[in-house]
């Protein structure tokens, strides 16, 4: 069984030269002259490094079996994130550099989907939008309204800093898009 470049999807895992890669983004390109090709951004599962690679249209790869399992995020040990299986209480560690930015959206004790690639834990799937409390931001000033433009930095409870409208206060919960880090709305 193989997967062709026209079946690429963000998040799909493929094997290239014996290494497993996750497709972060891709773009089909059809130049006026010459054959079509696919431009991709790939993350290597074993160490989290990201590369740009171009493939000819129609090239085939071995798809990699992936499985998602609900686990509880326990803590960050410094070089790895530690998760526990809620069913049998087994604990696993995933190196922090392998996870990229996804852990900045996860709080300790939260339930997350851990992605297993060929039965090895490799990544954490975070929802596309999350709700989180604002722990620190400058106070709003008189006249700062929803219609008045402008943003200010706010630190969320996980430690990530996002831009929020001027009317957001400390202690409020906000919805944030985890893919772009942009404020969506009050929670």
User: Residue 93 pLDDT > 80, yes or no?
Assistant: yes
Q: Which distant-in-sequence residues (6+ apart) come within 8 Å of 162 by Cβ?
A: 153, 154, 156, 174, 176, 181, 182, 183
CB burial of 85-113 (b: ≥16 within 10 Å; e: otherwise) equals eeeeeeebebeeebbeeebebbeeeeebe
Contact of 3 with 61, CB cutoff 8 Å? yes
pLDDT tens-digit readout, 116-165: 877 778 778 787 788 889 988 888 665 555 555 678 888 988 888 998 88
Give the SS3 label for residue 168: coil
The most distant pair of C-alpha atoms in the chain lies apart, rounded to whole Å, by 63
Domain 66-125 is classified in which CATH homologous superfamily?
A: Nucleic acid-binding proteins (2.40.50.140)
Half-sphere exposure of 99 (CA within 13 A, CB side): 26
Label residue 52 by pLDDT band (50, 70, 90).
very high
pTM over 0.85: no
Q: Which distant-in-sequence residues (6+ apart) come within 8 Å of 182 by Cβ?
A: 162, 163, 176
Q: Mean of the pLDDT values across residues 172-179?
A: 86
Identify the CATH class of 3-63: mainly beta
Q: Which distant-in-sequence residues (6+ apart) come within 8 Å of 101 by Cβ?
A: none
Phi, psi for 59 (deg, rounded to 5): -60, 150
Share of the chain above pLDDT 70, in %: 94
Q: Mean of the pLDDT values across residues 36-46?
A: 86
Label residue 69 by pLDDT band (50, 70, 90).
confident
- Considering the chain, tell me which residue range(s) the CATH 2.30.30.30 domain(s) occupy: 3-63
Q: Mean of the pLDDT values across residues 51-62?
A: 88
C-alpha 101/C-alpha 139 separation (Å) is 28
- Considering the chain, tell me which residue range(s) the CATH 2.40.50.140 domain(s) occupy: 66-125, 129-186
CATH topology of domain 129-186: OB fold (Dihydrolipoamide Acetyltransferase, E2P) (2.40.50)
Label residue 17 by pLDDT band (50, 70, 90).
confident
Beta strand 120-125 pairing with 111-117: antiparallel
Q: Mean of the pLDDT values across residues 32-46?
A: 86
CB atoms within 10 A of CB 52: 10
Q: What is the structure's pLDDT at 39?
A: 92
Label residue 186 by pLDDT band (50, 70, 90).
confident
Share of the chain above pLDDT 90, in %: 6
């Amino acid at each position: 069984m193989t997967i062709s470049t026209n079946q690429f999807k963000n998040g799909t895992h493929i094997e290239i030269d014996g290494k497993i890669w996750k497709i972060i983004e891709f773009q089909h390109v059809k130049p006026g002259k010459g054959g079509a090709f696919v431009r991709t951004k790939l993350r290597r599962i074993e160490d989290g490094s990201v590369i740009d690679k171009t493939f000819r249209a129609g090239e085939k790869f071995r798809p990699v079996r992936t499985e998602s399992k609900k686990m509880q995020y326990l803590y960050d040990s410094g070089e790895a994130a530690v998760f526990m299986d809620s069913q049998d209480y087994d604990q696993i560690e995933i190196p922090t550099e392998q996870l990229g930015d996804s852990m900045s959206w996860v709080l300790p004790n939260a339930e997350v989907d851990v992605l297993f690639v060929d039965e090895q834990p490799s990544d954490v799937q975070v929802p596309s939008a999350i709700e989180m409390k604002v722990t620190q931001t400058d106070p709003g000033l008189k006249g700062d309204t929803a219609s008045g433009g402008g943003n200010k930095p706010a630190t969320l409870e996980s430690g990530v800093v996002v831009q929020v409208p001027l009317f957001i206060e400390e202690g409020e919960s906000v919805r944030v898009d985890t893919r772009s880090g942009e404020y969506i709305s009050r929670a």
